[in-house]
Every structure is written in structure tokens, then in C-alpha cells.
Structure 1
Amino acid sequence: MKVKVITDSGSGLTKEQAAEYGLDFLPLQVIIEDKAYLDGIDLTVEELYDFIDRGFLPQTSMPPLGMIEEKFDQYKEEGVTDVVLITLSSGLSGTNQAIQASAKWRGIKMHTLDIYTTLAVERYLAISAAKLAQDNVHPDEIVARLKDSVDNSQGFLICQDLDHLSRGGRLTPMAAKLGGMLKIRPILEVSKNTEGKVDVCDKVRTTSKAVKKACSLAIKAVKDIKDYELFVMDSRDEQEALNMLEELHAEYGDITIQRQPICAVIASHTGLHAVAVQYVKKVKGV
């Protein structure tokens, strides 16, 4: 058995970073002014933030099909028999299905699951899968361990720029306009609870109240913090990210909470000044 582990750029990893963890990498595409960029290869998250800051409205697409086909042709030549695949939620993208179809055509066995989310949780699961594969854990067992973590994970996202949500069909244009005028902040959830799609779990007045509420939702779910990983992310909103960290540290004490930027393909839809918290149960054996 020869095993490879693949992730996509929804993990926030670049191609080079993925390689450092022993991961193979497929970039999602970010389209700006009719030009397609390969996320994590020829577009960094800071460059994407700059585009948004200058008024561009990016769109996103799954990895180029030709790149997927080329990857699996290479696997076939190298004698790869099994692939563990960790991609962003199937509710957000058709990436997982497209990759599975390419593997099936070449007779390569796929081991995958819907992680129902993206961002830091996807990154953690992908890196964990690579570590387990390096320890010669069977691919079926890797997926079983990841599933236990996925079943105990959740994330909450707060966006200040409601126009981006409106463009993505998450809010009507009128709701976005009224929300901006009234300073209403929807708290968005992407998890197994929402079947991997973006859904509004609550609406509050002001960003500061939304941050407190998102943290309280995570705290309510995570009782024994030693069994979990916590992440705080933002798209150029360091102050609200720090506020979120303060709320979490007030509950859990001096623990490690990982800070990451909201990756390019997700920030394309949230806009700047978004902040998020995610938690996931630690993967067994990692």
C-alpha cells in the first residue's frame, strides 16, 4: 500500500507549507477581474486582502480540473494505491466530489469524509491525517479518527461587511442594507449542524456583542478544554480577534489558542474585518 494525503487551500495552507507537513496540495481558484489566481500558489492571503481593500469583489472556484487530472496521473505512475482526502465542506464546494471522480477513473482508492467546515479545522485535520499516515496508520483508521473529531467541532463567524454576504446569497440586499444601518451582526455557523453550509445561528446588535455571543457558544460546547483545539481567525480585524482571545482566556485560563488569518477563498466571501472562532476535538494519536 502506498498512501498520499491531499488537502486544498481552504485549509489556509500554501503549497510550500503543505509540503512541509507531507501533504499534497490542490489550490482553489480566486477570480478577480476575469483573472484566475491559484490560491496558495500565485496568490497570498495578504494580496487577496489588498484586492478587497481596493474595492475588488473576488469570486471563487474549485481547483482546475486539469490540475486534478495531472495529480492523479502522477499517482498512477508512482504506484499510489490509496489517497486520504481532506477538503473543505461539500456544502461549500464540489472539490471533494471532483477529486473522487478523478481517482475512481484511475482505480485509486479514496478515503475521505465531509468535514462540514473549512479554515483552521480543515488545516488541523489535514495535518493530523498526514502525521497519522507517516506513522503507518491505515487510511480507514485515519478517517475514523478524523470523523470523531469532526463530530465534535463547530465554528462561528462574524462579518462586518454584509454586502459580501449579500453577493453570496446569504442575505438579501435589503437585509444587508438595513443590517448595516442598524449595526446588526449575524453570527454565522458552518458545521455538521448546518450540513456544511453557511447558516445564521443568531443576530445581535454590534460587533462586540456578537464576539461575546460567539465565544459563549463555543465555551458552552467545550467543557474539557484539554481535549480540544481552539482557533481564532480574522481578516484584518486584529482588535476583535484580540477581544475574542480575551473572552476565551477569561474562561479557560492560560491555554494555547491558535491565531490564523481567514484564508483567501473564504475571505473572498466574508470581506475584510471578519472574525471567527472554531473548536475541534483533538485527533486520537496526534
Structure 2
Amino acid sequence: MKIRVLTESGCGLTKQEANDLGIDFLPLQVQIEDKTYLDGVDLTVEELNSFLERGFMPQTSMPPLGDIEALLESYKKDGITDVILITLSNGLSGTNQAIQASGKWHGVKIHTLDIYTTLGVEKYLVLSAQKLVEQKIHPEEIISRLKESVEHSRGFLIPEDLDHLAKGGRLTPMAAKLAGMLKIKPILEVSKNTEGKVDVFDKVRTMSKAIKKAVKVISKDANAQDYEFYVLNGENQEGTQLVIDELHDVFGENIQIHTDPMYAVIAVHTGLGAVGVQFVKKVKGA
């Protein structure tokens, strides 16, 4: 049995970073006006943020089908028998289904799951899967352990730029204008509770109250010993620090917090100024 871990850029790794870890990588596509970029290959988070600052409205789509086919064909030639596939949720993209279909066509067994989210939780699951592969754990056992962690995961996004959400069709222009006047901040959720789609969890006044509400909800489901926490910074250092401070207040100073920039897969929808916070139960043995 020859096994590979495969992911896409929703996990926040670049192609080089993934390959250095022995992980295979497919880039999501980012369309900016008439040009298409490959996320994590020829487009960095900093470059994407620069486009957002200048008022562009990027869109994302699944990895190029030709790249998927070429990779699965190479697996067949190289004798790869099993692939552990970890992608962003099926509610956000058809990437997982496309890769499974290609694997079936090429006779490569795909072991996968719906993680119902993306961002930091996806990164953690990818890194954990690679560690378990290196420990010679059977693919089905790895998927079972990942599923257990996904069952105990959740994530919230708090956007600052409501006009950007409106331009992207996720909020009406009138609702965005009214919310801005009233300083209303929607708390968005992407988890199993929302079937892996972006949905509104709650609406509160001010970014500070939104962050406190999100962390309060998290405090009911997680603890410092058994969970990993991710904070995503969409060019909002003040909000990011407030999330970190709130997590420390609730869980203590020994909590494990990973801080990353907001990855392209979500940043194109929220625009600049957003913050995110996620938790996931630690994967057994990883």
C-alpha cells in the first residue's frame, strides 16, 4: 500500500509548504477581472489583500480539472494505491467530488470525509493526517480519527466590510447600508451546524460584542486541553488581538492558539477587516 495525503489551498498552505511536508496540493483558482490566479502558487495572501484594498471583487473556483486529472494519472503511474483527501466543505465547493470522480476513473482509492468547514480546521486536519500516515496508520483508521475531531469542531467569521458582502451577493445593498448605520455586525458560521455553508449565526452591535459572543459560544463546547484553536486575521489586528485576549480570559494562558492571515478561500467573500475563530478537537495520535 502506497499512501499520499492530498489537499487544496483552502488549508492555507502554499504549494511549496505542502510539498516540503510531503503533502500533495491542488490550488483553488482565484479570478480577478480577466485574469486567473492559482492560490498558493502565483497568488499570495498579501497580493490578494492588495487587490481587495483597491476595490476588486475576486471570485474563487475549484482547482483546474486538468491539474486534478494529471495528478491522479501520476498516482496511477507511480503505484500510489490510496489517497487521503482533505478539502474544504462540500457546501462551499465541488472540489472533493471532482477529485473522487477522477480517483475512481484512474483506479486510485480515495479515502475522504466532509469537514464542513475550511481555513484553520482544514489545515490542522491535513497536518494531522500526514503525521498519522508517517506512523503507518491505516487510511480508514485515519479517516475515522479525523471524523471524530470534525464532530467536535466549529468556526465563526465576523466581517467588517458589509459592502463587500453585498457586492458578492451575500447581503443586499440595503441591508448592508442599514447594518452599517446601526453598527450591526453579523456573526457568520461555517460548520456541521450549517452543513458546511456560510450562514448567519447571530447579529450584534459592534465588532467587540460580536467577538465576545463568538468566544462565549466556543467556551461551552471546547477546553484548553483537548482542542486546538485558530484565529484568522483579515487585516484587522485590533480585532484579532481581541479574539486572542478573549480566548485567554476564558481558557487560560496555556491555551494553544494558532494565528494565521485570512486565507483566500474566505477572504474573497468577507473582504478586508474580518476576523475568524475556530476550534477542533485534537486528532488521536497526532
In the superposition, the TM-score normalised over structure 2's length comes to 0.98
Report deviation, 1:182: 1.3
* Bigger mean CA offset, 163-172 vs 29-38: 163-172
Aligned to 2:224: 225
1:121 maps to amino acid: V
**Alignment of 1:197 onto 2:190:** no
Aligned pairs (5 A) from 1:139-218: 139-218=139-218
1:162–1:176 Cα contact (<8 Å) kept? yes
Which shows bigger deviation, 171-180 or 109-118? 171-180
Match of 2:278, SS state, is strand
Shift of 1:24: 0.3
Aligned position for 1:280: 280
**1:22, CA displacement in angstroms?**
1.6
User: How far off its partner does 1:162 sit?
Assistant: 1.2
C-alpha distance in 2, partners of 1:114/1:163? 31
Deviations 1:175-209 (A, max 9, x none): 11211121110000000011000111100011111
The amino acid that maps onto 2:227 is Y
Equivalent residue number for residue 131 of structure 2 = 131
Q: Aligned to 1:226, what secondary structure does the other structure show?
A: coil
Check whether the contact 2:57–2:168 (CA below 8 A) recurs between aligned residues: no
Matches within 5 A, 1:1-286: 1-222=1-222, 224-255=223-254, 256-286=256-286
1:48 Cα deviation (Å)?
Answer: 0.2
SS in 2 for 1:284: coil
1:163 CA drift (Å): 2.2
* Cα-to-partner distance string for 1:126-155 (whole Å, 9 max, x where unaligned): 010111111111110000000000000000
Structure 2: distance between partners of 1:138 and 1:173: 50
Query: How many angstroms apart in 1 are the aligned matches of 2:104 and 2:181?
Result: 51
Q: In the aligned structure 2, how far is the partner of 1:26 from the partner of 1:114?
A: 17
- Scaled by the length of structure 1, the TM-score of the pair is 0.98
State whether residues 157 and 276 of structure 1, in contact with CA within 8 Å, keep that contact through their aligned partners in structure 2.
yes
Check conservation: 2:120, 2:278, Cα contact below 8 A: yes
Q: Distance in 1 between matches of 2:123 and 2:266?
A: 13
Root-mean-square deviation (CA, aligned residues, Å) is 0.9
Cα distance change, pair 191–60 in 1 and its aligned pair in 2 (3 A): same
SS of equivalent to 2:220: helix
- The AA in structure 1 aligned to 2:127 is I
How far 1:20 moved relative to its partner? Answer: 2.3
Structure 2, unaligned runs of 5 or more: none
Stretch moving more, 133-142 or 158-167: 158-167
Q: Deviations over 1:78-102 (max 9, x none)?
A: 0011100000000000000011111
Letter in 1 for 2:284: K
Deviation, 1:38, is 0.2
Give 1:254 deviation, angstroms: 1.2
Q: How far apart are the structure 1 equivalents of 2:228 and 2:104?
A: 34
Distance (whole Å) between structure 2 residues aligned to residue 84 and residue 8 of structure 1:
12
Return the letter of the residue paired with 2:184: I
Task: Provide the rounded CA distance (Å) in 1 between the counterparts of 2:30 and 2:164.
Answer: 15
Cα distance in 1 between the residues matched to 2:19 and 2:12: 13
Partner SS, residue 225 of structure 1: coil
- Does the CA-based 8 Å contact 1:29-1:265 persist in structure 2? no
CA contact (8 A) 2:32 2:57 kept: yes
Q: 2:137 is aligned with what amino acid? A: V
Q: Deviations over 1:34-67 (max 9, x none)?
A: 1000000000001000110011110111000000
CA distance in 1, matches of 2:168, 2:196: 15
Identity %: 64
* Matching residue's letter, 1:146: L
Residues 207-226 of structure 1 deviation map (CA, whole Å, 9 limit, x = unaligned): 1111111111111211x320
Displacement of 1:265 in angstroms is 2.1
